[in-house]
Structure 1
Amino acid sequence: MPVSSSHRRRISRAVGVLALLAAAAGLSGCASVGDNVSTAFADPAKYDLYDCKQLETERVKIAGRKADLQGLMAKAETGVGGSVVSELAYRNELVATQGQSKFAEEAWRRNKCHESPPESKPAASAAATPPAPAAGVRGSRPSSR
């Protein structure tokens, strides 16, 4: 059964409208990615029982992970199709990490925590110095005597 030209125009118009709706839905999804989505992938009660020292360690760890993920995403975007690879491989973890960061910061403020003072120089340099070998200890090969 042949299709008339008026049916073809209606079909092509319907396909065009659906394509526009799909594009609009996709773009609106990008615009709504924010705090609401980032906190959906993180446990809001995770940091409730942390003390300030634990929160400080966690904040440093989260900041490092966020920086790593952003670096990996930037590196991926330099290649062919990199933005797609970047989004597929790293975006979800980055969003989850941002949610964790938000909850850790809220707990930090709620507990009225303050940054720890930096360690004194002598203690830091002593920790960085490797221990001297024990007297009488030679290389790992046994002697040939």
Structure 2
Amino acid sequence: MSIRTFLHLPPRAAVTAALLALGGLLCGCAQMGETLSPAFVDPAKYDLYDCKQLETERAALTSRAAELQGLMSKAETGVGGAVVAEVAYRNDYVAVRAQQKLAEENWRRSRCDETIVATPAPIVPPVPARGARSR
């Protein structure tokens, strides 16, 4: 579509064409954002973390990524939601995903293991032997 043809379109068609072009550009940015994610995080950020700190950080990052994903999904349900989701949440989401990846790499490099929280066994009072008298 040439500029001359675009200028002679009815206003509604021109707006629709502009929104489609903007949507295509944003889709390209979203795909590009996932590949540029290392630019959003300091490569040495987790170098001095021990396994316990990394475990806490990984849990917090997983929670934040899920929260941002939910916010983006919710925003996409409204009018112009894809644009709102991209503008408002995409950069934060890409940064969190980059931090998750870096924390995960340091986790593996440090050979950390998941902490298994042991549930204490219930305390059961001893059963008196048969024939024993209770006081």
- Give the TM-score taking structure 2 as reference length: 0.68
Offset of 1:30 from its aligned partner?
4.1
Matched AA of 1:74: S
User: Which residue pairs with 1:131 in the alignment?
Assistant: none
5 Å matches for 1:2-17?
12=4
SS of 2:53 mapped into structure 1: helix
User: Which residue pairs with 1:116 in the alignment?
Assistant: 115
User: Which residue pairs with 1:94 in the alignment?
Assistant: 93
SS of 2:116 mapped into structure 1: coil
Per-residue CA deviation, residues 16-49 of structure 1 (Å, 9 max, x unaligned), is xxx9xx87x93654443323x1111111111000
Change (3 A) 1:11 1:102: closer
User: Which residue pairs with 2:74 in the alignment?
Assistant: 75
Counterparts of 2:107 and 2:118, CA distance in 1? 21
User: Which residue pairs with 1:63 in the alignment?
Assistant: 62
Offset of 1:121 from its aligned partner?
3.9
Sequence identity of aligned pairs in percent? 54
Counterparts of 2:61 and 2:31, CA distance in 1? 25
Matched AA of 2:32: S
User: Which residue pairs with 1:3 in the alignment?
Assistant: none
Change (3 A) 1:11 1:70: closer
Change (3 A) 1:39 1:58: same
- Asked if structure 1 preserves the Cα contact closer than 8 Å seen for 2:30 and 2:86, the reply is no
Change (3 A) 1:108 1:11: closer
Counterparts of 1:69 and 1:28, CA distance in 2? 20
Offset of 1:80 from its aligned partner?
1.0
User: Which residue pairs with 1:46 in the alignment?
Assistant: 45
Per-residue CA deviation, residues 81-126 of structure 1 (Å, 9 max, x unaligned), is 1111111110000010011001100100110011011232469xxx
Once superposed, which parts of structure 1, at least 4 consecutive aligned residues long, lie more than 6 Å away? none
Matched AA of 1:67: A
Matched AA of 1:70: Q
Q: CA RMSD in A?
A: 2.6
Structure 1: 5+ residue runs without aligned partners? 1-9, 124-145
SS of 2:54 mapped into structure 1: helix
Structure 2: 5+ residue runs without aligned partners? 8-17, 123-135
